[in-house]
Structure 1
Amino acid sequence: MPNCLIVGVGPGLSQAIAQRFARGGYNLGMIARRADLIEQLSEKLQVQGAQTAWATADAGNEAELLDAIKSIEGMIGQTDVLIYNAAVMHAAGPLDLTSRALRREFEVNVVGAFAASGAVAPNMLRKGKGAILFTGGGLALEPYPEWTSLAAGKAALRSLAFSLFKEMSPKGVNVAVIAVCGIVKHGGLFDPARIAEEYWRLATAADGLADRELIFQPAGSDPHYNDPERVHVTTSITPEHARK
């Protein structure tokens, strides 16, 4: 069975992604900071018939993250699909954010994705197939000052994804960033199971995926979800994809 490794496992989107890949016949490797979250999910996935392996690590600590990946691959085998879903969501404006916080959050939001990709990419390139998918966000397309650090991180993650796409897609490896432009909520337009289907589609598409970015912004959803009080409506540009 092929293996899917998810970095940044939590109760929402990543859980839905794990369950979708388990239904598709994948074994699951999972990394999170909290063991209790992964233990519960692991039990559910095993009921679905998937083999699971997990480890705890701080995605912003490269040594911990790489050790966790190595440990998981030692249990279930090399990674066929990597999904990087880790992020730090701390609100702070550009004049309030400290350099220390920005560096720390950048380690999780971007550097961890870079390190995880570097760990699994060589094997994918040797085989000429595989997939690396990043969870992006609408803040990469239109930042809001309250989320300066996360917006900068998602923008950098988007750039990293594009660079990897240009390097790896011609060699058979699917690389894409999924910009989820809304609040993930069960039963809503951003239902995690619905979004998970897009991860599955991108990961299992023909080798050498043509699409480097998916902007998930369903018709009728709010393009200003990061600015619920509409404080910045007059100073922000509604993203082109949301004007249609």
Structure 2
Amino acid sequence: MTDIPYRSALVIGAGSGISGSLIRLLRSGGLPVVIAARNTEKLAPLVDETGAIALNVDASDAAEVERLFIETEARIGAPEVVIYNASGRVRGPIADLDPKEVERAVGVSALGAFYSVQQAAKRMIPAGKGAILLTGATAGVKGFALSSPFAMGKFALRGLAQSAARELAPKGIHVAHVLVDGRVRPKGHTDPTDRPDSTLDPDAIAQTYVDLLRQHRSAWSWEIEVRPWLETF
């Protein structure tokens, strides 16, 4: 794990699933890590386990994201890896959805990602180095019924990743969209014996992120999909 070519990381939208697995891997590689979420109390077990630093943020608020980066820089230096895992969900028939709830959901999934990429770019461009990984979902390529706000946010996230990759890669910054195409295995969950590994193991997903970080710049991926091996295409 010591061959990760970056020295510090910020994970936004942290929890016990993909983010938890990522933080363990990054910390095992010796990187100082800041984990940010709206409610950091739930991160206490992960902080105790890994020694990561937890900071509060409302990712849908540009000023709060800017403050998060300033505080992160003061604690561990400018983050050379920024991973955006936050997303907003609200379900229901289009005709019945509350516009304010929709605005909030899209604000977290899409605008929060933009604010984070913007703050990361401001620090990475002068350094000529960095990696920005954005966590997508099936909804970013296929909108499901009763889930239009989530689809809107994840489609926008994918577009942001593609545009930012084209703009920032020539400046030495690796931007990638990780399309998580399937159900992530909850903690303590066991897959049916007749369908082993039918859900996505968060540790395996995290390994894919680290593999992206190790890519040589002559062969950077801007997008990678992870899905269960039993997926029907």
TM range (shorter): 0.7 to 0.9
Deviation at 1:53, TM superposition (A): 2.5
In structure 2, distance between residues paired with 1:36 and 1:106: 24
**Distance change (3 Å), C-alpha of 1:159 and 1:74:** same
**1:211 aligned onto 2:216:** no
1:148 is aligned to 148
Whichever residue aligns with residue 45 of structure 2, its letter is Q
2:206 is aligned to 196
CA contact (8 A) 1:202 1:209 kept: no
1:32 is aligned to 37
CA contact (8 A) 2:37 2:55 kept: yes
| Structure 2, unaligned runs of 5 or more | 1-5, 191-196
In structure 1, distance between residues paired with 2:174 and 2:102: 30
Give the TM-score normalised by the residue count of structure 2.
0.88
| Farther-moved stretch of structure 1 (25-34 vs 149-158) | 25-34
Q: Secondary structure at the match of 1:178?
A: strand
* RMSD over aligned Cα atoms: 1.7
Summarize deviations over 1:130-187 as a string: whole Å, max 9, x none: 1000010001111112211001100000000000000011222111111101111056
CA contact (8 A) 2:88 2:104 kept: no
Summarize deviations over 1:56-76 as a string: whole Å, max 9, x none: 111112222221221121111
1:84 is aligned to 84
| Structure 1, unaligned runs of 5 or more | 47-51, 222-241
1:21 is aligned to 26
CA contact (8 A) 2:140 2:151 kept: yes
- Report how many aligned residue pairs link the two structures: 218
Give the TM-score normalised by the residue count of structure 1.
0.84
